Structure 1
Amino acid sequence: METRFDELLEFPCYQTFKVLGIAHERLPEDVVGCLQLLAPDDYSPKVRPSSKGNYHSVSIDVRVTSKEHMESVYIELGKLELVRVVL
């Protein structure tokens, strides 16, 4: 992953990740579980359903410590079964 996060952000910092995935009760749990492995913290995800209810968006603030750490969060969240997009 070739990003410019290190040029745009000052680390460590909090970054809001928005995870879009299949509307399933397990989605927020999977996202938090993944983040606990990468950046242990007390997370409070905000979940919003899509207009048709097929998808949910999970917004969550994560403390990232470096460009590489931020990239790994994007990559690992994107690998989750129910996840379709990570913003």
Structure 2
Amino acid sequence: MKKNLQEMLKFPCYFTYKIIGLSRPELVDQIIKVIQLCIPGDYIPQIRSSNKGNYLSISITICAKNFSQIEKLYNEISKISMVRMVF
């Protein structure tokens, strides 16, 4: 799968991460902080709350220069304790 994704993308390209995490006010700030450390820029996340309000769904688009940036950011976002899924 990794190889297929790598072959499909032409860099630089826009890449959107979808993140599901606990509904906490600091979650979005922590995600943006991690992204800023890897790829500085202005980011405007799209945020949706789950039906019961326990989780947030966050979509955020970056401009990646290479595939290793995408992988590194995926791994760093996954390390945030409130994050449950990254795809």
TM > 0.5 between the two? yes
Q: Which consecutive residues of structure 2, in runs of 5 or more, have no partner in the other structure?
A: none
For residues 43-62 of structure 1, the C-alpha deviation after alignment (integer angstroms, 9 at most, x for no partner) is 11111001111100111111
Count of aligned pairs:
86
Q: Which consecutive residues of structure 1, in runs of 5 or more, have no partner in the other structure?
A: none
Identity of aligned residues (%): 37
**Mapped partners of 2:44, 2:14: distance in 1:** 13
**Mapped partners of 1:59, 1:27: distance in 2:** 13
**Mapped partners of 1:28, 1:46: distance in 2:** 10
* Equivalent residue number for residue 53 of structure 1: 53
Amino acid at match of 2:73: V
Q: CA RMSD in A?
A: 1.1
Matches within 5 A, 1:19-38: 19-38=19-38
Matched, 1:64 2:64: yes
TM-score w.r.t. length of structure 2: 0.93
Which consecutive aligned stretches of 4+ in structure 1 deviate over 6 angstroms post-superposition?
none
Structure with bigger helix share is: 2
